[in-house]
Structure 1
Amino acid sequence: MKIYFIKYRTIYFVLISLIIILILSFLYSRSISIKTFNNKDNLYYEGNGESNTVAFTCNVDWGEELVPVMLQIFEKEKLKITFFVTGKWAEKNPELLRKIYNNGHEIGNHGYIHRNYGNLSYKINLEEIKKADNIIAKIIGHKPLLFAPPSGDFSEATLRAATDQNHKTIMWSVDTIDWRKDSSRDIIIKRVVSKSKKNSIILMHPKEETIKALPTIIKELKNKGLNIGKVSDILK
Structure 2
Amino acid sequence: MKKVIHLCIIFIVAYLFVNNPLSNQYVLGLKADSISVSKQKDPLYNEITARATDYYIPPQDAKIDRVWKAIPGLNGLQVDIGASYKKMKADGEFKDEKLVFKQILPKVQLKDLPPSPTYKGHPEKQMVSFIINVAWGNEYLTDMLATLKEHNVSVSFFLEGKWAQNNPELAKMIEEAGHEIGNHSYSQPNMAKIPKSKIREEIQKTNEVIMAITDKPVQWFSPPSGSFREDTIQIALQESLRTVLWSVDTVDLKKPSKEELLNRVMGKVHNGAIILMHPTSPTERSLDQLIIQLKKQDFQIGTVSELLSSDRTADNLIFGKVNSKENNN
**Shorter-normalised TM range:** 0.7 to 0.9
- The correspondence for 1:230, drawn from 303, 306, 326, is 303
Identical positions, percent: 38
1-side partners of 2:211 and 2:122: how far apart?
Answer: 27
* Counterpart Cα distance in 1 of 2:217 and 2:226: 21
How far 1:178 sits from its partner (Å)? 0.3
Letter of the structure 2 residue corresponding to residue 192 of structure 1 = V
What is the CA–CA distance in structure 2 between the aligned matches of 1:51 and 1:198, rounded to whole Å?
6
Q: Residues of 1 paired with 2:306 and 2:119: CA distance? A: 14
Whether contact under 8 Å (1:49, 1:234) holds in the other structure is: no
Instruction: Give distance in 1, aligned partners of 2:156 and 2:221.
Output: 11
TM-score, L = length of structure 2: 0.59
Q: Give the drift of 1:123.
A: 1.4
- Greater Cα radius of gyration, structure 1 or 2: 2
Tell me how far 1:50 sits from its aligned partner: 5.1
Correspondence list, 1:122-201, <5 A:
122-181=196-255, 183-201=256-274
Q: Which residue identity does 2:141 align to in structure 1?
A: V
Residues paired across the two proteins, number: 199
Q: Which AA in structure 2 matches 1:197?
A: H
Q: Does 1:51 align with 2:110?
A: no
Structure 1 stretches of at least 4 aligned residues deviating more than 2 Å after TM superposition: 38-42, 48-51
Query: Quick one: structure 1 residues 82 and 105, their matched pair in 2 at CA, closer, same or farther if it must change by over 3 Å?
Result: same
Separation in 2, partners of 1:232, 1:48: 12
154-163 or 41-50, which deviates more = 41-50
Amino acid at match of 1:130: Q
Q: Measure how far apart 1:49 and its partner are.
A: 7.2
Does the Cα contact within 8 Å between 2:183 and 2:207 map onto a contact in 1? yes
* Amino acid paired to 1:68: T
Say which of 183, 187, 191 aligns to 1:109: 183
CA deviation digits over 1:24-56, x for unaligned, max 9?
Answer: xxxxxxxxxxx9xx6553410001275311001
Structure 2 CA distance for aligned equivalents of residues 120 and 215 of structure 1: 38
Taking structure 1 as the reference length, the TM-score comes to: 0.81
Where in structure 1 are there 5+ consecutive unaligned residues?
Answer: 1-34
Measured after TM superposition, the shift of residue 211 of structure 1 is 1.1
Aligned pairs for 1:54-133 within 5 A? 54-133=128-207
Q: Name the residue aligned to 1:10.
A: none
Relative contact order: is structure 1 or structure 2 higher (C-alpha 8 Å, sep ≥ 6)?
1
Is the Cα contact below 8 Å between 2:115 and 2:234 reproduced in 1?
Answer: no
Q: Distance in 1 between matches of 2:138 and 2:221?
A: 20
Instruction: Give the letter aligned to residue 213 of structure 1.
Output: S
In structure 1, distance between residues paired with 2:185 and 2:214: 16
Q: Deviations over 1:36-94 (max 9, x none)?
A: xx655341000127531100110000001211110000000000000000100001110
Q: Residues of 2 paired with 1:115 and 1:191: CA distance?
A: 28
CA distance in 2 between counterparts of 1:161 and 1:122 reads 8
**1:115 Cα deviation from its structure 2 partner:** 1.7
**How far 1:108 moved relative to its partner?**
0.1
5+ long unaligned stretches in structure 2:
1-65, 71-113, 310-329
Whole-angstrom CA distance in 2 between matches of 1:177 and 1:215: 17
Q: Is the 8 A contact 2:158 2:222 kept in 1?
A: yes
- Give RMSD over aligned pairs: 1.4
